[in-house]
Amino acid sequence: MASTKTRPAKQAKPLSRIQEVNRKAILDAALEVFATSGFRGATIDEIATRCGMSKPNLLYYFKSKRDIYQQVLEQTLEEWLGPFAAIDPNADPVEELRRYITAKLVMSEKRPEASKLFANEILHGAPVIHGFLETHLRQLVHEKAGVIRQWVSDGKLAPIDPYHLIFTIWATTQHYADFDVQIRAVIGSQAGKPGFYEQAAQAVLSIILNGIRPR
C-alpha cells in the first residue's frame, strides 16, 4: 500500500517589518487609484508613483495589477464583514444592529474609497469576487438572516424580512461613501462640517431601529 503521508507545503518566508510597511503602502495607494480610476483605468505606474516606489520595486511585492486589485478587494471585504460576522444571536437585537450600523457608517466616513472600489467591482459584474459572493458571503448572509428571523420569531423585532433588512443597512450606510458627490451637491457645505456624520448616524439609526422595534 502506498504511504498516505504527504510532504508538508513549503511555507512562505515571513515578511520583514520594512516589507510589511511597503506592502501596506502599495495597498493603500492602490485603493485610492482603483477607487478613482477603476481596474481598467488604473496603471501600475500610477500606483507606484502614489506610494513613492519605482515600478520594479512594486512588482517585487505583487506580480501584476490584478494581484494588487484582488488583494485590495479581499482586504476591504475582510474589514467590512468583521462587524457583520460578529453579530451575536444571544445579545439584544436592537443594540447589536445599532452597533453594526454604526460600524458601517464609520467605515463609510473613514474609508470611502473602499466602498467605491467595491461598488465599481459590483457594477462591472464582480469579475474578481463573484465566486466569493456566491460562497462565503452567501453563507454568512444566510447565517445572519437566520439570527434575525429567530429574533422576529421570539418577538424581539417587528415582523421583517431579514434579507431586505440587511440590504437596507448596506445600501443606506454605503450611500454616504458612494454618493458623497451627490450629497454635497444637495446640501452644500454642511456635508463637510464637523459632526455631519454623527448627525447622519443618528438619523439612519432612528429610521432603521424604530422600524424594527417590536410593536
Contact 194, 139 (CB under 8 A): no
Give the C-alpha separation, 56 to 202, whole Å. Answer: 48
Spell out the residues 6+ positions from residue 99 whose beta carbon is closer than 8 angstroms to its own: 83
Sign of CA dihedral 165, 215, 95, 195: positive
pLDDT band for position 10 (cuts 50, 70, 90): very low
Give the C-alpha separation, 213 to 193, whole Å. Answer: 31
Q: Per-residue pLDDT averaged across 151-155, rounded?
A: 97
Q: Using the predicted structure, report yes or no on whether residue 7 has a pLDDT greater than 80.
A: no
Count Cα neighbours of 207 within 13 Å in the Cβ-side half-sphere: 12
Give the C-alpha separation, 96 to 94, whole Å. Answer: 5
* Domain 73-212 part of CATH 1.10.357.10: yes
In tens, the pLDDT along 92-118 reads 999 999 999 999 999 988 889 999 999
**Rounded to the nearest 10 degrees, how much is the dihedral formed by the CA atoms of 92, 77, 48, 179?**
-70
According to the model, what pLDDT value does residue 137 have? 94
Give the C-alpha separation, 74 to 68, whole Å. Answer: 10
Question: Grid coordinates in use for 103?
Answer: 460600524
Contact 118, 34 (CB under 8 A): no
In tens, the pLDDT along 43-65 reads 999 999 999 999 999 999 999 99
* Domain 15-63 part of CATH 2.30.38.10: no
Domain regions of the chain by residue span: 15-63, 73-212
Fold matches, 15-63 and 73-212: no
According to the model, what pLDDT value does residue 50 have? 94
